[in-house]
């Protein structure tokens, strides 16, 4: 599948929210204000995967938290999965986090999201811990982390 990774533009917002609604069960999907809140945080950024015909295939929202990066969400439309879109989005976000000076990335994913857990493990993430009731007090989360490779400092 041919696509490019680009920065989020304001006109994308409704499309991204609809993709998020389609990707997650109602208790996990963000409301519009929630998604807008996370995307507008001062240290957060959003990257979009755009197909060659111009449609949005997926997006990632990430942020820097002091020396750590945090993946807030990554969503790929069902028809474009297993074609490398998620990998390209994650790689681009990790690259941006690395350039912002972060040395590690963390994220949370539901314990029952097998596809996401396999995806993150394939990308070098390890399960650090389980947080009981992380999602609305009802569903546990795995916290997964990855060290980002830093280039040696030139002296
Ligand atoms: C998780 C998600 C982002 C992966 O995106 P994707 O574009 O399908 O990922 P890629 O095509 O880059 O997959 C890379 C590798 O991850 C692993 N992987 C991805 N999806 C997988 C699945 N459903 N089952 C097993 N392994 C999977 C595979 O190793 C895959 O490589 P391969 O296709 O050559 O075997 C996508 O499934 C998604 O958007 N899911 C719904 C939203 C979601 O759960 N997001 C995570 C929030 S915590």
Confirm whether 154 is domain-assigned.
no
pLDDT in tens, 46-100: 999 999 999 999 999 999 987 899 999 999 999 999 999 999 999 999 999 999 9
Confidence of residue 154 (pLDDT cuts 50, 70, 90): low
**What is the Å distance from ligand 1's center to 99 Cα?**
25
CATH number of the domain enclosing 143: 3.40.630.30
Q: Which of 108, 113, 107, 119 shows the shortest CA–CA distance to 83?
A: 119
Confirm whether 124 is domain-assigned.
yes
Query: Which alpha helices (H) appear in the chain, and where do they start and end?
Result: 13-23, 32-40, 85-99, 114-122
Q: What is the DSSP letter of 113?
A: -
The residue segments making up the domain with residue 103 are 3-147
**What is the Å distance from ligand 1's center to 76 Cα?**
8
**Numbers of helices and strands, H then E, in the chain:** 4, 7
**By the 8 A CB rule, do 22 and 59 touch?**
no
**What is the Å distance from ligand 1's center to 106 Cα?**
17
pLDDT in tens, 94-153: 999 999 999 999 999 999 999 999 999 999 999 999 999 999 899 999 999 999 986 666
Ligand 1 neighbour 92 (Cβ under 6 A): no
Ligand 1 neighbour 74 (Cβ under 6 A): yes
Confirm whether 86 is domain-assigned.
yes
Confidence of residue 29 (pLDDT cuts 50, 70, 90): very high
Confirm whether 47 is domain-assigned.
yes
Residue 37 neighbours by CB under 8 Å, 6+ apart: none
Confirm whether 82 is domain-assigned.
yes
Q: Which of 60, 38, 63 shows the shortest CA–CA distance to 50?
A: 60
Confirm whether 119 is domain-assigned.
yes
pTM of model > 0.85: yes
Confirm whether 152 is domain-assigned.
no
The tally of domains found in the chain comes to: 1
Confirm whether 153 is domain-assigned.
no
């Amino acid at each position: 599948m041919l696509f490019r990774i680009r920065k989020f533009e304001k006109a994308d917002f409704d499309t991204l929210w609809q993709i998020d609604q389609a990707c997650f069960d109602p208790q996990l999907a963000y409301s519009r204000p929630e998604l807008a809140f996370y995307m507008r945080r001062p240290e957060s950024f959003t990257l979009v995967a755009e197909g060659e015909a111009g449609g949005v295939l997926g997006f990632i929202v990430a942020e820097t938290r002091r020396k750590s990066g945090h993946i807030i969400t990554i969503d790929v439309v069902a028809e474009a999965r297993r074609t490398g879109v998620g990998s390209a989005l994650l790689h681009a976000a990790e690259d941006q986090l690395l350039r912002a000076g972060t040395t590690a990335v963390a994220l949370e994913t539901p314990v029952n999201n097998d596809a996401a857990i396999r995806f993150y493990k394939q990308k070098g993430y390890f399960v650090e811990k389980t947080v009981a009731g992380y999602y609305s007090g009802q569903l546990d989360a795995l916290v997964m982390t990855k060290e980002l490779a830093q280039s040696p400092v030139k002296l």
